[in-house]
């Protein structure tokens, strides 16, 4: 086997590997689109990230194949259309699964493009120039505004999530057993006395200092000790006058 045959063999094997990886990528994209279209009500963010990680893995594998030494011969080859026509090409439509029915003058530049479109490239250059000429104070101001907007959006999403969870519990017959707003108000009242009258605030503060709320006197479960009958004493006492027991009589 001469050098030319060996290169053709490597080129064929590289093309087959690229086609297999592209088919895997296409299958993963179709699966993700199908999941978004049919399971958009039940799909969650971790599931979406798992499917997106599969796409990222296929793209990484495709990049490794294109960067390998076996694919070096592809860099010296040029792909160009042999014939342009506005009429429908059944063979091309079958190869592209109906996405490219004809090889027209408008379609070929997009298929063979190796750089972004001129309009997109011009806008990207404008953004890069604007970012490079931006001062530090202006950048920090924009960052603070962006953080404020993100925080506001996060509060809206959190509030919507609480409302959605409450509606879900009510729809399934489960009544909520707590209220987040009331819980926060209660904790604030116990900790700082907010919303309480001065007398009540002092009582709450004393209860908190004593590691527990103030309690009233414990209820008596029986009659008072003074009303109970006295038990007879088992010790007999003999009390005499002091002059009778004095040892020294005068």
Reported as a single tens digit per residue, the pLDDT across 123-157 is 989 988 888 888 888 888 988 999 999 999 999 98
CATH 1.20.58.1710 residue window(s) in the chain: 1-77
Model-wide pTM > 0.75: no
Q: What is the pLDDT of residue 51?
A: 87
Cα 148 from chain centroid (whole Å): 19
Least confident interval from 23-27, 113-117, 149-153, 228-232: 228-232
Calpha distance 27→182 (Å, rounded) = 50
Fill in the DSSP letter of residue 72: G
Reported as a single tens digit per residue, the pLDDT across 103-125 is 888 888 887 887 788 888 899 89
Instruction: Average the pLDDT over 75-84 and give the result.
Output: 79
Q: What is the pLDDT of residue 145?
A: 92
Q: How confident is the model at residue 5 (pLDDT cuts 50, 70, 90)?
A: confident
Q: Distance between the two ends of the chain, CA-based, in angstroms?
A: 152
Task: Name the average pLDDT for the chain.
Answer: 76
In 3D space, the residue among 35, 79, 24, 33 whose CA is nearest the CA of residue 57 turns out to be 24
| Domain spanning 1-77, CATH architecture | Up-down Bundle (1.20)
């Amino acid at each position: 086997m001469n050098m030319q045959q060996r290169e053709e063999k490597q080129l064929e094997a590289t093309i087959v590997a690229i086609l297999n990886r592209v088919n895997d990528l296409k299958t993963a994209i179709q699966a993700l689109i199908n999941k978004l279209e049919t399971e958009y009500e039940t799909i969650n963010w971790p599931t979406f990230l798992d499917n997106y990680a599969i796409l990222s893995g296929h793209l990484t594998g495709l990049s490794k194949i294109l960067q390998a030494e076996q694919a070096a011969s592809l860099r010296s080859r040029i792909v160009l259309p042999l014939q342009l026509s506005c009429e429908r090409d059944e063979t091309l439509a079958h190869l592209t699964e109906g996405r490219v029915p004809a090889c027209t003058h408008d379609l070929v530049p997009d298929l063979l493009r190796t750089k972004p479109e001129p309009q997109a490239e011009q806008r990207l250059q404008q953004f890069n120039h604007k970012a490079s000429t931006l001062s530090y104070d202006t950048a920090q101001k924009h960052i603070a505004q962006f953080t404020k907007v993100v925080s506001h959006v996060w509060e809206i999403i959190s509030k919507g999530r609480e409302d959605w969870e409450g509606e879900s519990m009510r729809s399934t017959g489960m009544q909520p057993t707590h209220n987040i707003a009331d819980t926060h108000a209660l904790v604030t009242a116990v900790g700082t006395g907010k919303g309480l009258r001065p007398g009540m605030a002092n009582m709450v503060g004393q209860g908190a200092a004593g590691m527990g709320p103030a309690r009233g006197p414990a209820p008596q479960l029986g009659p008072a000790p003074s009303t109970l009958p006295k038990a007879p004493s088992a010790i007999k006492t003999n009390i005499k006058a002091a002059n009778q027991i004095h040892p020294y009589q005068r």
